[in-house]
């Protein structure tokens, strides 16, 4: 039991370093910019405007009673958190090679610090979603109380992926290039900008994507006033927990190989 809990204890012991690294990532990201963290609004807002013009006017996607701009922004917001976290985490070990090789600390702090900094961007960009909901007269209901559970599941999934990807890229540097292509394909296999219908063979294949229940979960509790589908969200939660546990265990057991692969 002590061996299983060791990575988490070390991370908790070095929590101040973790927060300092996350703060450093934010400072570097917005250094010498006029708008600072307001740039966190730029990507999801711009993509929302683009997809609104393409899909709402050309493809005429049916989103029921939810206005398409709100529907798509509510999907882009958690997706940008997911994609941005993984893009930054995949190079977090190689980017901090001097610290990895010369200073003793739990190496998990590097990918997780990147996730924390992206979470700050996620919270800032949420302001736009609140504004859109107010503009279209969409008031949250009691189901918003379930929102923290969805956020926790998504963070657990991101942390698990981040640990595995950062370690994989350390051993095989072409992982970051392959992952960029995979991430683009992954977005269009997820209900980010349009509803995913899980009928037929391809529907069953797409049902294996754990990000769709998470994004649908945000829309359910914020826009529809209902709880997420228990089976789909339960599946996503199970995947998130397994990924995080496997990520921590595998990462911790492989740390002794990091220095020679930097």
Each residue's pLDDT tens digit, 50-99: 888 777 667 677 788 899 899 999 999 999 999 999 999 999 888 887 77
pTM of the model: 0.91
Looking at the structure of the chain, the number of domains it has is 1
Q: Which residue has the higher pLDDT, 151 or 259?
A: 151
CB-count exposure of residue 99 (10 Å: 0-12, 13-18, 19+): middle
Is residue 52 a contact partner of residue 75, using CB atoms and an 8 Å limit? no
User: pLDDT-derived band of residue 1, with 50, 70 and 90 as boundaries?
Assistant: very low
Is residue 74 a contact partner of residue 129, using CB atoms and an 8 Å limit? yes
Query: What is the pLDDT at residue 65?
Result: 86
Each residue's pLDDT tens digit, 128-141: 999 999 999 999 99
Residue 197 carries which DSSP code?
A: P
Quote the CA–CA distance of 51 and 49 in Å, as a whole number.
Answer: 6
- The 10 Å Cβ neighbour count of residue 34 is 7
Quote the CA–CA distance of 204 and 198 in Å, as a whole number.
Answer: 6
* Domain housing 172: 2-261
């Amino acid at each position: 039991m002590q061996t299983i809990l060791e990575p988490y204890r070390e991370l908790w012991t070095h929590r101040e370093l973790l927060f300092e690294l996350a703060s450093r990532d934010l400072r570097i990201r917005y250094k010498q910019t006029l708008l600072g963290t307001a740039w966190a609004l730029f990507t999801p807002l711009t993509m929302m405007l683009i997809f609104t013009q393409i899909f709402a006017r050309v493809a005429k996607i049916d989103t029921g009673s939810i206005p398409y701009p709100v529907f798509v922004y509510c999907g882009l917001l958690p997706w940008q958190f997911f994609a941005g976290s993984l893009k930054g985490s995949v190079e977090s070990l190689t980017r901090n090679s001097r610290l990895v090789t010369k200073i003793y600390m739990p190496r998990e702090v590097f990918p997780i610090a990147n996730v924390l900094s992206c979470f700050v961007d996620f919270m800032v960009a949420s302001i736009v979603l609140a504004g859109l909901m107010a503009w279209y007269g969409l008031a949250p209901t009691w189901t918003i109380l379930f929102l923290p559970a969805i956020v926790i599941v998504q963070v657990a999934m991101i942390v698990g992926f981040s640990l595995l990807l950062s370690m994989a890229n350390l051993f095989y540097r072409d992982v970051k290039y392959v992952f960029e292509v995979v991430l683009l394909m992954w977005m269009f296999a997820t209900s980010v900008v349009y509803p995913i219908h899980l009928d037929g063979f391809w529907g069953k294949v797409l049902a294996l994507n754990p990000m769709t229940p998470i994004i649908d979960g945000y829309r359910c509790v914020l826009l529809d006033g209902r709880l997420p589908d228990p089976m789909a969200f339960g599946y996503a939660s199970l995947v998130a927990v397994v990924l995080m546990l496997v990520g921590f265990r595998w990462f911790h057991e492989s740390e002794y190989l990091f220095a020679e692969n930097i």
